[in-house]
Amino acid sequence: MIIAVLNQKGGVGKTTLSVNLAAALALSGQRSLLIDADPQGSALDWQAARKGQSLFPVVGLAKPILHKDVPGLAVGYDHVVIDGPPRVNELAKSAILAADAILIPVQPSPYDVWAADEIVKLIQEVALYKASLRGLFAITRKIGNTAIGRDVAAALKDYPYPVAATAIGQRVVFAESAATGLSVLEAEPKGSAAKEIRSLLREVLES
């Protein structure tokens, strides 16, 4: 499966999800590839911070012809994760064309719900030519059992894609592990963050 993690709003946790989902796949015995399609190159920076052998390769490919190159790159891998650009443009469209499923991270904020509209419209535009394309929202950086987290999930139900039952909490381990090029599944394999990533991955694969 090719999974693209996309949202036009920055700071929603795209790279965090991309890196940790790829790690969860690799640690479960799946051959995974992470494509950094964000011109900022955050996933490549994560890889550069790592000491020792990586769980999976990271390839930088921030080009609007991404969808033409991905099939060749995907040969030999069970799953490919694409860390998409932080805006709706031709590069984002190319990532959608390349993908089987789109994961849309959204923070518990009304601004994020409003910003989701553009990426949803772009996915729907591509879906006219690719009927099998699937979409899934994931609430990220959620703080406890707060009302705003529940409100955002309710607001997102107005869109044509489901909201994952698994929300990713705001946890220090995500930043601490990223600083050393690790995933949360390596830093705290039995921690809450690792459990949330594994749970979200199951939902993505079953979506």
CB 163 within 8 A of CB 157: yes
Average pLDDT over residues 136-164: 82
Tokens matching residue 199: 């749970």
Tokens matching residue 14: 């795209």
Average pLDDT over residues 36-40: 93
> Residue 147's pLDDT is what?
62
* CA distance to 13, 24, 28, 131, 184, per residue, from 140 (Å): 7, 17, 23, 27, 15
Average pLDDT over residues 126-149: 84
Per DSSP, the three-state class of 204 is: helix
- CATH code for the structural domain at 2-206: 3.40.50.300
Residue with tokens 């999976």: 56
pTM value?
A: 0.93
CB 146 within 8 A of CB 107: no
pLDDT in tens, 68-88: 999 999 999 999 999 998 887
Look at residues 127, 202, 204 and name the one whose alpha carbon lies nearest to residue 160.
Answer: 127
Tokens matching residue 26: 């690799």
Compute the Cα dihedral for 7, 21, 200, 139 and give only its sign.
negative
Q: What is the 3-state secondary structure (H, E, C) of 116-151?
A: HHHHHHHHHHHHCCCCCCEEEEEECCECCCCHHHHH
Q: How far apart are CA 33 and CA 31, in angstroms?
A: 7
Indicate the average pLDDT of the chain: 91
Residue with tokens 């979409």: 135
Has residue 108 got a pLDDT over 90?
no
